[in-house]
A and B are shown apart, each in its own frame.
Chain A
Amino acid sequence: MRSEALADLQQARAAKRPVVFATRLSDGFQCLLPSSSASAALNESAHRALSRDENATKEIEGESWFLHAYSPPVRLVIVGAVHIAQSLVPMCAPLGFDLIVVDPRRSFATEERFPNVTLMDDWPDDAMEKIAPDARTGVVTLTHDPKLDDPALDRALKSDAFYIGSLGSRKTHAARLGRLAALGHSEATLARIKGPVGLDIGAVSPPEIALSILAEFVAYRRTIGQTT
């Protein structure tokens, strides 16, 4: 690997540009894809690798190529800079997720409580407008406050977010679904919301609840939510 090629790759990753680092296994020739100087077949394989988040050796035009897909990190939007969010943040780092914590209440979303995290103090609907959740984004609401949770969920349901979760008891969740239905969301759409949020591991403490949420989030990312 040439140091220049490595620097180009790291630059693309830092800019959160989805790229494939392609290696021709017969001689070690390498290039970044997609590229205007690469063949259509190579570029097409690169697009497929990115959409599937897949690293694999492929036979392309009589040569073996290793296509290493570098997609931007999966994002997790947390609405509510609450106690459970404080547990979620450090757990996300080793998993490689990009975190955004949304809370318009200034005393909650402070740098002191959430060091080194992207904090947004917009109202959740404005924040979601800016974040524009895509198929690599998950949204979890934690505030228990309909004024904050509902607009975030409303926007999440209108987006391609692959995972939507909302903290609250079964009773709270049923009431929440009623309010969102009144906003015009169908039953099928509302079924996208995981509520009560998280895998049922009998979680009690905030770190345990955070763990159950992240376990469900990973399950969706790796298996259940796979669309391609």
Chain B
Amino acid sequence: MNESYPIVSFMGLRFNLANDLAILVSCVIIFFLVFWLARKPTIRPNGRQNALEYLIDFTNGIVKSAMPGKEGKRFGLFAFTMFLFVFVNNQLGLFFQVDVGGKTWFRSATADPIITMSLAMVVLVLSHFFGVVFNGFKGYMKEYVSPVSFLLPINLIENITNFVTLALRLYGNIYAGEVLLLLIRELAFSGHGLLGGVSFIGGFAVEVIWQGFSVFIGTIQAYIFVTLSTVYISEKVISD
């Protein structure tokens, strides 16, 4: 992975094909995974269905911890899909990174701030939208001047910081992980002769360890992203 990407312009919009490819691949993976897991569901679950139900219970638990009431039922599917999307995108670049002609064609989409900001924007828009849906426009506006009116600037800034931290936390973790992965790879191929053998073996071992750790980080970050998303949505949706 380097900082040179295949970028095409189409109707005045710039597309980073590395991002789009990763998004497409992850969507296909997720869809076929859950489609396979959810085939022929039965009252008495078999192994595949158990796995899917465990995942659903897991994300439902995240939603329920932020929104225990009936509001939470609306966001089960969203949290489930978002978790799987972020999770798969975090892991993709750990196993496949493709550089062709000096350009990076494939790596984790979440290693790009524009993608994480887009995801955070989805959360932000949803939170404001459902804030209006559940509390009415008046109730939604009242949240900005509560508990007292002079906190209005802080409430406004909070919305921006929520958005920025949500996006950049994910981006930073995944980007740093993949950069380090690449650096370790370069270390492994850096030496020549006997030193090269030593550095290759050492680099290989460190690479494996760091990949394992990155899987862990990617999982934790997906969990954190979904948890914070539901918390931000619940702040708007549930009126005090």
Q: Note whether A and B form a binding pair.
A: no
Q: CB within 8 Å of A: which residues of B?
A: none
